[in-house]
Amino acid sequence: MRVRKRFLSPNSRALLLVLLFLLLRQARAGAQDWVRTGTNLGAPRIRLAAADFNPASPDSQTLELKPTFDTTLLNDLTNAGIFDMVSKSLAPPVMPASPQQIDLAQWAAPPANAAMVAFGSFAVTGGRLAVYGWLFDAKNPESPQILGKQYNEVASQDNARLIAHRFADEIITRLGGGIPGIAETHIYYISSRGGNKEVWQMDYDGQGQHQVTHLGTISLSPRVSPDNERIAFVSLGRRGWSIRMYSLVLGRVVNFPSMGGTTLSPAWSGDGSKMAFSSSPSGDPEIFTSDASGGNVKQITTFRGPDVSPTWNPRTNSQIAWCSGRTGLPQIYTMEADGTNVQRLTDGGYATSPSWSPNGQFLAFAWTRKYGPGAPGGQDIYIMDIASKRWTQLTHDQGRQDFPTWSPDGRHIVFQREQGGGPEIWTMLADGTAQRRLTQTGGNSMPNWSWK
């Protein structure tokens, strides 16, 4: 009798069972959803309609504050640069107050052709402002809700604008792929409206301009810290130019140990822990780094020729771009934060005021490509991709441009323009379009965009 050998030994059978079990587990673990999309399907701007909000209470302040809210919301969404806004004349003349009241087919049909609708109700009761806002997908009637938010603040014009900024930021963050909106950010700049050059502050859209420092002397180059608590700037004091620190929390200038000699152009690192500045204890300006409290000062450049205007890479916090005159005319260089690996970026002309973009990829700077008496062109804003050294000119033949600085979403640049008369502050999208003037009177210069 032949003993039939088992096909598999017990050990192999156990192993096979384990493998089978794992395979089945793998199959059942695919409970996640799948989506499929691609590049050749078009990625145009989202067509967004911002409806006028419904006045939901009979209080007189409702009608007084609502236009501010509606206008601010529309402007914020337009300025974001990522939407194709439906103009109010094409939108249906309705003010839906809640999801039950909106007719999405009306908004999705021509002439509005909206893909998304932002609407809601706006009411002032007893001195408090309550806003309910929704963002609906007009092309998806089965499950249209993307956002539903409510806000409650003391009723005032400033708060009406603030709520509009917050709602616009929510919409921009959701539809813009996770990059936070800039509607609540501020721009710090120098204005000589009061006689002296002092540090002023305004909202990103030019509203709410007010003076911050009252030193009675010349102040320059304000740089706000990443946590929005302090502004570092330089001021002409008894001992010459030094870095001063203003606390926005305390509302006054606080002590800061500035180096001796002419110390200029402070720059914060992206995490707020370090500062870079230029100082000339020996007569030749060099770049120094220090802690945010002013201690642990290290010199990182030693070449002859002025080294000024440092700016940190806000993503890695370990690279600095600055402007150096070591070859004659000022050019833009980058280096590591300890001074090694110096790379030259511009190949000629007169280049100043570098500003590093928040995603670490680009530098914006002011450049006169052909420098010299009678040379064509002027000082314009350029952006350069650092890895490939490819540059693009953003402004053309509109006066002298200088001091560009990036917005925290990397989509906007604010800069100073002199077009006959004094310098004023302008803003534009980072591709050079949508240039708008933010300041009107006095000489306004050296803008700096807050980090959040």
Give the binding site for other proteins (CB under 8 A).
26-27, 30-46, 81-82, 113, 115-116, 137, 139-140, 142-143, 146, 173-179, 328-329, 344-350, 359, 361-362, 369-372, 383-385, 387-393, 409-411, 429-432
User: Sign of the C-alpha dihedral, residues 292, 293, 298, 302?
Assistant: positive
Between CA 438 and CA 431 the distance in angstroms is: 18
> Closest approach of Cβ 177 to other proteins, in Å?
4
196 vs 317, which CB is nearer to other proteins?
317
Angle at 444 between CA 438 and CA 446, to 5 degrees: 100
Among 407, 27, 10, smallest CA distance to 184 is for: 407
83 vs 122, which CB is nearer to other proteins?
83
42 vs 195, which CB is nearer to other proteins?
42
139 vs 437, which CB is nearer to other proteins?
139
Tell me the one-letter amino acid at 213: T
> Closest approach of Cβ 230 to other proteins, in Å?
27
User: The tokens 């770049």 sit on which residue?
Assistant: 287
Between CA 280 and CA 175 the distance in angstroms is: 48
293 vs 327, which CB is nearer to other proteins?
327
> Closest approach of Cβ 409 to other proteins, in Å?
7
> Closest approach of Cβ 106 to other proteins, in Å?
16
250 vs 434, which CB is nearer to other proteins?
434
| Ordered DSSP codes for 167-199 | HHHHHHHHHTTSPPP-TT-EEEEEE-TTSS-EE
CA atoms within 13 A on the CB side of 115: 9
> Closest approach of Cβ 380 to other proteins, in Å?
13
User: Sign of the C-alpha dihedral, residues 14, 16, 20, 23?
Assistant: positive
Q: 205-232 burial, b for 16+ CB within 10 Å, e for fewer?
A: bbeebeebbebeeebbbbbbbbeeebbb
> Closest approach of Cβ 253 to other proteins, in Å?
36
44 vs 93, which CB is nearer to other proteins?
44
Tell me the one-letter amino acid at 384: M
> Closest approach of Cβ 429 to other proteins, in Å?
6
